[in-house]
């Protein structure tokens, strides 16, 4: 197996803006194994507190680098010996057991089932990742088999990709596409809500044109908002929230405890 890899890990502290549109329109992200996780506020608070506590101090951190270096070197030597054993033929280096394809098919069905339980817009984007994720699952299954070779005393059991290896790889891949789909669910829902609220401006304009106004064009704010709420069939909170977005297009005048608003048509032009 030859793999000319230019990237192995994409790590971000936060999902970038318009990530969902990039997923839908570009093919770059589909080539990677993505794990999308929006770090909850309580963890961010914990990390910041630890950062503050250690500010101004010098800390030495010793990682077991030598241990991992030796393990990877041993893995390389065993794999190289296997490669030479089969005459340097990469297609004969790994063999596959009968249950490999059965478990792979099962994991594919599990992935499809998970996607089918999502909204159609989420399914459309997430489905773009299915083919690539299955290829990644196959590659990771092979890597799991290779990684387990040093622990097998019987050499005849080494370098066989089994259903167990597929399940090992699936614990990683499954978690990645589940978090990806969950993030898309939230992201696209927020995007639709934003688009919906932007479209509310037409309701403000239409209601203002038809509602009774005084000689200067002012209308009672409470009555005006109630009419917009009924026409748009949105909650009062949504109406007030969107009004803050277009507030610059209105003049407000307070008379006693009542507030009156006037829509500036000139700002639309």
Work out the percent of the chain whose per-residue pLDDT is above 70.
82
For residues 112 and 146, membership in a common domain is answered with yes
39 sits in the region (left: phi over 0; alpha: psi -120 to 50; else beta) called: beta
H/E run at residue 104? helix 98-116
Q: What is the pLDDT of residues 10-29, one digit of tens each?
A: 556 666 556 656 655 555 56
pLDDT score for 234: 79
Is the residue at 130 inside a domain? yes
pLDDT the model gives residue 182: 81
203 & 191 share domain: no
Question: Taking a C-beta distance cutoff of 8 angstroms, is the pair 200, 208 a contact?
Answer: no
Residue 57 has a pLDDT of 93
- Region of poorest pLDDT, from 56-60, 176-180, 195-199, 203-207: 195-199
> Is residue 101 assigned to a domain?
yes
State how far the Cα of 33 lies from the Cα of 259, in Å rounded to an integer: 55
Domain membership of residue 122 (yes or no) is yes
pLDDT given at position 248: 80
Task: Provide the angle, in degrees to the nearest 10, between the axes of the packed helices 163-198 and 130-148.
Answer: 150
pTM for this entry? 0.60
Domain limit, last residue, from 197, 223, 241: 197
CA–CA separation, 169 and 140 (whole Å): 5
Which residue segment(s) compose the domain that 110 sits in?
A: 19-53+94-197
Classify residue 72: in a domain, yes or no: no
Which CATH number belongs to the domain containing residue 207 in this structure? 1.10.10.1420
* CB count in 10 Å sphere of residue 129: 23
3-state secondary structure of 165: helix
Question: What's the pLDDT at 10?
Answer: 57
107 inside domain: yes
Confidence category of residue 267, pLDDT binned at 50, 70, 90: very low
């Amino acid at each position: 197996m030859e793999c000319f890899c230019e990237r192995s890990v994409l790590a971000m502290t936060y999902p970038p803006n318009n990530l969902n549109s990039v997923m839908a329109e570009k093919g770059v992200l589909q080539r990677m194994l993505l794990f999308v996780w929006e770090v909850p506020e309580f963890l961010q608070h914990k990390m910041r507190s630890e950062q503050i506590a250690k500010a101004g101090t010098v800390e030495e951190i010793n990682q077991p680098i030598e241990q991992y270096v030796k393990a990877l070197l041993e893995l390389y030597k065993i794999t190289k010996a296997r490669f030479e054993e089969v005459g340097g033929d990469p297609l004969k280096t790994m063999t596959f057991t009968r249950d490999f394809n059965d478990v792979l098919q099962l994991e594919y069905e599990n992935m499809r089932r998970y996607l089918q339980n999502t909204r159609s817009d989420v399914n459309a984007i997430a489905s773009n990742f299915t083919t690539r994720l299955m290829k990644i699952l196959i590659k990771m299954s092979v890597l799991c088999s290779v990684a387990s070779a040093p622990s097998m005393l019987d050499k005849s059991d080494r370098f066989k990709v089994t259903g167990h290896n597929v399940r090992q790889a699936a614990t990683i891949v499954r978690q990645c596409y589940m978090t990806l789909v969950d993030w898309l669910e939230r992201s696209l829902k927020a995007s639709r809500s934003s688009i919906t609220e932007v479209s509310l401006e037409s309701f403000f304009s239409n209601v203002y044109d038809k509602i009774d106004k005084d000689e200067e064009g002012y209308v009672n704010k409470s009555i005006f908002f109630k009419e917009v709420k009924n026409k748009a069939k949105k909650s009062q909170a949504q109406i007030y929230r969107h009004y803050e977005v277009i507030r610059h297009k209105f003049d407000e005048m307070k008379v006693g405890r009542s507030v009156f608003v006037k829509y500036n048509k000139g700002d639309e032009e």
